Amino acid sequence: MIGLTNAVVRFGNRCVLDQLSFSAERGRSLAILGPNGRGKTTALRAMLGFQALAAGTRTAPAVVGYVPQYASSNQSYKVLDAVVMGRAAGLGLFGQPSARDIAAARDALEQVGALRFAKERFDRLSGGERQLVLLARALATGSKVLVLDEPGSALDLNNQARLLRLLSALRAPRDRAIVFTTHDPNHALAAADDALLMLPDGPALFGPVAETIVPELLERLYGVPMRLVNLIGEDGTGQNAVLPAFAGRRAA
C-alpha cells in the first residue's frame, strides 16, 4: 500500500495540501486529477517522500517503482543499462549488476514492448519510447508499488492508447498498487479503479472511479461543462468517455 493520512504541506504561508488522505491498496489503481497548481505533483512527491510534510503521515514501501514526468534526453546510456539502474537498491554501495539483474531488466523491457531498444542509446529515442524505458526501469525494481507522474502528458494519441493498454495489463493480475497523475479523466476511466480529485473549491474527493469521474464533479474540478458519453470500444462493448462541452462546437 502507498498513501497519505491527514497530510499537510505548506510553502511559506500557502497551504498546498490540507489534511489530505488517500491510499492505493495492492490490487488497485489510483488516478490523481486536478487543475494546474492545485497540488497533484505535490501530493505525489509527498507520497514518495520527496516533499516534507508539515503534519500527517505517509505510508510507502522501502522501494517504489517511480516513473517521472520527464527524463533528460542528454543521457547517453544504453537503454538496457538505464533499466538495470532500477535494480540499484538491491546492489549495495559497491555492488555490480549480476546476470539476474540484467535478466530482470530485459524482462521488464519485454513487458513494456521495448526490448528492441535494448542496445540503443536512451538519448536517441523519441519521447514516447523514453517513457516506455522509464516504465521498464520502474518495473525492474521488483516493487509492488508503481507510481507515474503524468505519464501521458508528452505522448500523442496513439502512444497514450498504448500506455493505457499497458497500465491496464499491469493492473490485471491485481498484484500491485498503481498510482498515476493525469489531466485527462478518460485515463482514469481506462486504467484506474479509484480517483483522487484535487478540487479547487474545497477538500479533495477520494473514491471509486464510478462515483468520482462523473460530469458534475468534473465540472467543479476543471470549471467547464462536461458530458459523459458511451462509445463502442475495440472489443465491441460500450465504454464510457468524458468530453468537455466545447468539444464539437463550431464557429458560426
pLDDT at 143: 94
Residue type, 160: Q
86: helix, coil or strand?
helix
Helices (H), the chain: 40-48, 79-84, 99-111, 127-140, 157-171, 185-191, 209-212, 215-222
Cell matching residue 161 = 492508447
Which residues does 168 contact at the CB level (< 8 Å), separation at least 6?
A: 190, 191
Q: Strand 14-24's sheet: what is its strand order?
A: 14-24, 2-11, 55-59
CATH of the domain at 32: 3.40.50.300
In a domain, 173, yes or no: yes
pLDDT (0 to 100) of residue 71: 65
pLDDT score at 94: 57
Rounded CA separation 140/109 (Å) = 9
For residue 124, is it within any domain? yes
The reply to whether 207 falls in a domain is: yes
Residue 113: how many CA atoms within 13 Å on its side-chain side?
A: 12
Kindly give the parts of the chain with pLDDT less than 70: 71-75, 90, 92-95, 247-252
> Number of folded domains in the chain?
1
Q: How far apart are CA 175 and CA 159, in angstroms?
A: 25
Residue 54 has phi, psi (to 5 degrees) of: -80, -25
* pLDDT score recorded for residue 95: 66
> What does each C-alpha distance from 137 to 48, 64, 132, 175 come to in angstroms?
17, 11, 9, 18
The whole-angstrom separation of Cα 220 and Cα 206 is: 14
Strand pairing category for 14-24 and 2-11? antiparallel
| Residue 89 located in a structural domain | yes
Look at residue 225 in the predicted model and tell me its pLDDT: 92
User: Is residue 223 in a domain?
Assistant: no
Please say whether the beta carbons of 34 and 44 come within 8 A: no
Confirm whether 234 is domain-assigned. Answer: no
pLDDT at position 33, please?
97
Task: Supply the range of the domain harboring residue 116.
Answer: 25-48+62-217
Residue at 226 is within a domain: no
Q: What is the pTM of this model?
A: 0.90
Digit-coded pLDDT (tens) for 173-210? 999 999 999 999 999 999 999 999 999 988 999 999 99
Residue 244: inside a domain: no
Q: What is the pLDDT of residue 250?
A: 57
* Residues 150, 181 contacting (CB under 8 angstroms): yes
pLDDT at 97: 84
Query: Any residues with CB less than 8 A from the CB of 42 and at least 6 apart, and which?
Result: 9, 16, 17, 51
3-state secondary structure of 100: helix
